[in-house]
Amino acid sequence: EIISCDPSYYKWTQWFFKIFYENDLAYRGEALVNWSEALQTVLANEQVVDGKDERLGQPVIQKMMTQWFFRYRRYAEEMLNFEHLDWPEPVKIMQTNWIGRSEGASVIFKTESGESIEIYTTRPDTLWGATFMVLAPEHHLVDKITTLEQKQIVEEYKAQAATATEIERTATDREKTGVFTGAYAINPVNQERIPIWIADYVMVTYGTGAIMAVPAHDQRDFEFARKFGLNVRVVIQPEGQSLDGETITEAYVGAGVMVNSGQFDGTLVTDDKGRKNPAIDAVINWLEAQGFGKGTVNYRLRDWLISRQRYWGSPIPIIYRQDGTIETVPMEDLPVIHPQDVDFKPTGQSPLKYYEPFIKTVDSDGNPAERETDTMDTFMCSSWYHYRYLSPNYDQGAFDPEEAAYWLPVDVYTGGAEHATMHLLYTRWFTKAIRDLGVFDEAIEIMKQHGRDPEELLIGEPMLLLRNQGQVLGAERPGDIIMATGRYEGDKLFADRVEVIEKISEVPAGFDGVFGEIMRRV
């Protein structure tokens, strides 16, 4: 039995954080959070209703705070590989969509004052149709490029944007809002001077926080341009038609040929994504040759924000030195344990922040220092519990390598599809990360000594077979007779009684109210 809130367990959670940080898989960065001034705390999206907190009904704003992250995106490409996994197709699709791989180009636009604004686009073939740029209100260049004449209106808009959640800001049916910064950029492909706006439908947390706006071929940009009277230039014409930017009523997003695009006029544009589209491929090659940009693979997936400004969750084993540098807590001082007599009054920070006996410590040189007071996302502890199950009382490491060599990876995991984009992705990332850091090395050597192929550990997958709760799949048990009563929905049986007769043992197993497949280890 294991308990993830027990110090003997989260000692090893902290050790994992320690090796992640020491190997550049953990870092500090800025992130937008939902902030309640009335409650003095950070809120989850689910706790915000119409821009107000669900408890008091007081305004909630978006606030930038320094947080701890894991480099989740570093394994994005590998996590798109399901070759070794016998998982339900819907779960694979959910993870694929969540990771959100796309191919396109990164392009640099220069402002008239010389600042560089990097954008990522999946449609570099439409660059000649970019008639304005849009920055997120939180973009780091907004204050720098905004003219004196526009400063007040920009500040007012930034304050207004801070009251909307990310879900509200990115809703496709929401009316577009924005203001002009007074600044201009130069479109590198045609040297056209284009205005720079800010708008809350652009998020600083996605991509670069800046976009080139192509209203003739992107619906959000089209709605924005029509509302604010901005130029709409068609650069892809459907075959046999002649669209006019002044009269079209919606953005055209289909195939056709490039027009108004200099030397690329007449280039075929297909419905293919990325460099399979001949127009996109040709433009990327040209951008790279000109030094304007480069082909890029991007992911919707963001790095894993693990900081929590609360008491529960494993303390983060970090020490801040007086000279501003950071070091991890030495292994011999783990676990860092929660103090018991803290004040839980809401302040917007972890209760640990105001408990001096916890904060005050010394660094590796014996000088006064301070502890990190954020705690870890509890998904950190649940990302590796199946490894601790192997040897819950083992004290020489997170798990006994002898047991790991015999049992890992997990043969069958039974759980709901609601875990697809959280727990199941977190534990896949975690397993791949510790594989690359050598945590499995001893177990792999033991497997080799016993004449076993360690490939299943080397692929870095935590569980090979996944069964969603609610499935009874007879095809997985070809040697058994499955008799069940209940109702079918599609190819799934929701059973009120299942009887399995194993041909090997000829022992019936009856279960009332079963909502799943009966499993046995072979």
pLDDT tens column, 305-351 = 998 888 889 999 999 999 999 999 999 999 999 998 888 877 767 88
DSSP code string of 91-137: HHHHHHHHH-EEEEEEEEEEETTS-EEEEEES-GGGGGG--EEEE-T
**400-429 pLDDT, tens digit each:** 999 999 999 998 888 777 788 889 999 999
Where does the pLDDT of residue 33 fall: very low under 50, low under 70, confident under 90, or very high at 90 and above? confident
Give the structural domain span for 482.
474-512
d(CA 88, CA 512) in angstroms, rounded, equals 25
Q: Is 220 domain-assigned?
A: yes
In-domain check, residue 322: no
Domain termination site, one of 299, 328, 353: 299
Q: Give the per-residue pLDDT at 480.
A: 44
**Residue 156: Cβ-neighbour burial (10 angstroms; 0-12, 13-18, 19+):** exposed
Give 235-269 pLDDT, tens digit per residue.
999 988 899 999 999 999 999 999 999 999 999 99
CATH assignment at residue 252:
3.90.740.10
Note whether residue 44 is domain-resident: no
Q: Is residue 286 part of a domain?
A: yes
Give the pairing of strands 375-376 and 410-415. Answer: unpaired
Coil, strand, or helix at residue 354? helix
Last residue of a domain, which of 299, 326, 346? 299
Within a domain: residue 162? Answer: yes
Q: How confident is the model at residue 143 (pLDDT cuts 50, 70, 90)?
A: very high
Which pLDDT tens digit goes with each residue over 174-233? 899 999 999 999 999 999 999 999 999 999 988 899 999 999 999 999 999 999 999 999
- Name the token pair of 472: 């009874």
Residues 442-493 have pLDDT tens digits of: 998 998 888 888 888 888 889 888 876 554 444 444 444 444 444 444 444 4
Does a structural domain hold residue 245?
yes
Calculate mean pLDDT across residues 291-306: 94
- 12 in a structural domain: no
SS3 of residue 20 by DSSP? helix
- Separation CA 387–CA 2 (nearest Å): 11
Please, are residues 67 and 35 in contact by the beta-carbon 8 Å criterion?
A: no
Structurally, the chain folds into a number of domains equal to 2
CA proximity to 480, closest of 512, 514, 513, 520: 520
Range in 82-91, 126-135, 363-372 with the lowest mean pLDDT = 82-91
pLDDT at 469: 57
Question: CA-to-CA distance for 187 and 191, rounded, in angstroms?
Answer: 5
Identify whether 81 is part of a domain: no
Considering 278, 299, 320, which residue would you say is the last residue of a domain?
299
